[in-house]
Structure 1
Amino acid sequence: MRFKKLDLNLLVALDTLLTVQSITKGAEQLNMSPSALSNSLSRLRDYFEDDLLTQIGRRMVITPMGESLKANVRNALNNIESTILVQPSFDPKTTDRIFSVFCSDYTQTVLAPHALEIVGKQQSTARFQFLAQVENPDEQLEQGKADLLIIPSDFVSSRHPSKVLYEEEFVCVVWKDSKIAKGKLTTEKYAEAGHVLMRPAVVKKDFFETSFAQKYGIKRRLIATTFSFASLPALVIGSENIATIHARLARKMAKVWPLKILPLPFDIPPMKQCVQWHQYRNNDEGLIWLIDTLKSAAINMDAE
């Protein structure tokens, strides 16, 4: 099919090439031969009168023209998928859809079990992929890699719609037999203690360093970092260290670990946990169902 002399089939090839920046990997992803994809790239170069991708050493690098097309091509394909290709009705009991949700292990621990419980009670045939967080989560929506993001409001993109699912407080957890567990936790004790932090590889600083370190003048003494929120409570066991974590996660972990939960010695506004989806998928009945399920799960998790 052609539109203004452009074979629209080439848009899929262009989107893949601009994403993976490799003819070999792109061909594997599209289930076609490298020579066929190379031919598609040649036709795209002729149409746009630009190389789009150039070979530099062993790498293919996107040209400025290619960069300018990248987001627009992905949005065009998302628009076609959401308005033309998506099934007009969604039945959770017969669907074969697999929903990809980018979220932290904290979200998978406190919220996702309640969502799956609801899905099970509905006898839904939907399936789910919970995927690790990345540095620029909105790009996962734009590239079609994620159906939904579950992220704090500080990381929500203004380009796509979102809703607040719930609010979360922060607390400290310490080993229940530690010295620091006795008496009131003051700002001075907090600053002097050793701290274990969750710091994923894609983020240079954690939530408190970026939001509150300057405000309160607190520089935490780092003992250890981890990629997982859920592992933080275990890392304070047997020590005088502190982990600052989400209150719901702390309460859940205190049921199985010898922990004491202490209030923070300073006030922090609650985190707003949001769900976000692509702007072109507002009318996707499957996503509407999933968002409603997550909202119900957020209510249920506080009824434990």
Structure 2
Amino acid sequence: MRFKKLDLNLLVALDALLTERNVTRAGERVFLSQSTMSNALSRLRQYFDDELLVQVGGRMELTPRAVLLQDAVRDVLVRIDTTIAAKPAFDPTESEREFTLFVSDYSMQMLIPGMLALASEQRSRVRFNLQPQVNNPHRHLERGEADLLIIPQTFCSPDHPVDLLFEDQFVCVVWRESALAQGELTQERYLQAQHVTMRPPGGRQPVFDTWLANDHGVNRQIGLATYSFCAIPYLVVGTDLIGTVHARLARHLQPLLPIEIRPVPLPMRAFKQAMQWHKYMTRDPGLVWLRELLKEASVRMDDSLPPPTNG
């Protein structure tokens, strides 16, 4: 089929080439041989009167024209997929669909188990693929590589729908035998202490540190950085380090660790965790089911938490 003299089948090949930047891998992505993909690239170059992919050192790079085409081509294919492939109804007891979610280890610990339990209660046959958070996660939505993002509302894209799942607060955790566990944790003691922080991949500023800088004009002294929220309460044990983590996570781990929980001695805004999906997928019945499942899991999240014992 052709549109304005372009064979529309070539759009799939073009998307694969612009994504993989390698003829062999692009062919594997769409189940075409290397020679067939090379032929497709030649035809695309002729149609667009542009090289699209050029050799730079040991790798292929996109030309400026190809960069402009990349998002537009992917957008067209996602629209086609969501329009044609979408089914009018969804039955989780019959469907073997796989949902890809991007989640932090905090959400993995506190929210996802409840979602899985609810899916099991419904005798669901769907499968889940949980991926770690990355920079600019909305790009994975737009490329059809993620069905749902579970991320702080601060990081949500303005281009796609957002639904708030729950709010949490930040608290401090310290080793029960440390000096910081004795007496009141004042603002002065807090700022003079050595802190454990979660540093997101890609060099992004941690959410909490951004808030401290913006709201109070202060910075913490970082004694240890980790890539995991859930590791922070474990890492303060046996040290004079202090960790600032989500209150639910601290309460969840407190029965397992010799830690004390203290309020953050600074006025703090609430942490808002949201879910986001592609605007073309809003009415997808399977995704509607998944979003409702996560909302119910959010409501039930506190049921198994012990009450705070100190702080």
Q: TM-score range by the shorter chain?
A: over 0.9
- Paired with 1:208 and 1:114, the residues of 2 have a C-alpha distance of 26
SS of equivalent residue, structure 1 residue 202? helix
How far residue 31 of structure 1 moved from its aligned partner, in angstroms, is 2.2
- Paired with 1:218 and 1:158, the residues of 2 have a C-alpha distance of 29
Q: Which moved more, 1:8-17 or 1:233-242?
A: 8-17
1:150 to 2:150 alignment: yes
Scaled by the length of structure 2, the TM-score of the pair is: 0.95
SS of equivalent residue, structure 1 residue 17? helix
Task: Give the corresponding residue for 1:208.
Answer: 208
Q: Which moved more, 1:213-222 or 1:290-299?
A: 213-222
- Paired with 1:298 and 1:26, the residues of 2 have a C-alpha distance of 40
Scaled by the length of structure 1, the TM-score of the pair is: 0.97
Q: What amino acid is the match of 2:16?
A: T
Q: Which moved more, 1:197-206 or 1:232-241?
A: 197-206
SS of equivalent residue, structure 1 residue 129? strand
Task: Give the corresponding residue for 1:132.
Answer: 132
Unaligned runs of 5+ in 1: none
Task: Give the corresponding residue for 2:309.
Answer: none
Unaligned runs of 5+ in 2: 305-311
How far residue 214 of structure 1 moved from its aligned partner, in angstroms, is 4.6
Task: Give the corresponding residue for 1:12.
Answer: 12
For 1:167-214, what per-residue CA distance to the aligned partner results, in whole angstroms no more than 9, with x for missing partners? 111111111121101111111111111111111331332112222225
Report percent identity of matched pairs: 47
Task: Give the corresponding residue for 1:115.
Answer: 115
- Paired with 2:162 and 2:204, the residues of 1 have a C-alpha distance of 25
- Paired with 1:156 and 1:140, the residues of 2 have a C-alpha distance of 13
Q: CA RMSD in A?
A: 1.2
1:56 to 2:56 alignment: yes
- Paired with 1:66 and 1:25, the residues of 2 have a C-alpha distance of 18
How far residue 258 of structure 1 moved from its aligned partner, in angstroms, is 1.0
Task: Give the corresponding residue for 1:102.
Answer: 102
- Paired with 1:184 and 1:213, the residues of 2 have a C-alpha distance of 23
SS of equivalent residue, structure 2 residue 93? coil
SS of equivalent residue, structure 1 residue 50? coil
How far residue 301 of structure 1 moved from its aligned partner, in angstroms, is 0.4
- Paired with 1:244 and 1:212, the residues of 2 have a C-alpha distance of 12
Within 5 A, what are the aligned runs for 1:1-304? 1-304=1-304
Q: Tell whether the 8 Å contact from 2:212 to 2:219 is kept in structure 1 after alignment.
A: no
Q: Tell whether the 8 Å contact from 2:168 to 2:248 is kept in structure 1 after alignment.
A: yes
- Paired with 2:116 and 2:26, the residues of 1 have a C-alpha distance of 34
SS of equivalent residue, structure 2 residue 262? strand
- Paired with 2:15 and 2:282, the residues of 1 have a C-alpha distance of 22
The count of corresponding residues between Structure 1 and Structure 2 is: 304
Q: Tell whether the 8 Å contact from 2:94 to 2:125 is kept in structure 1 after alignment.
A: yes
- Paired with 1:204 and 1:277, the residues of 2 have a C-alpha distance of 22
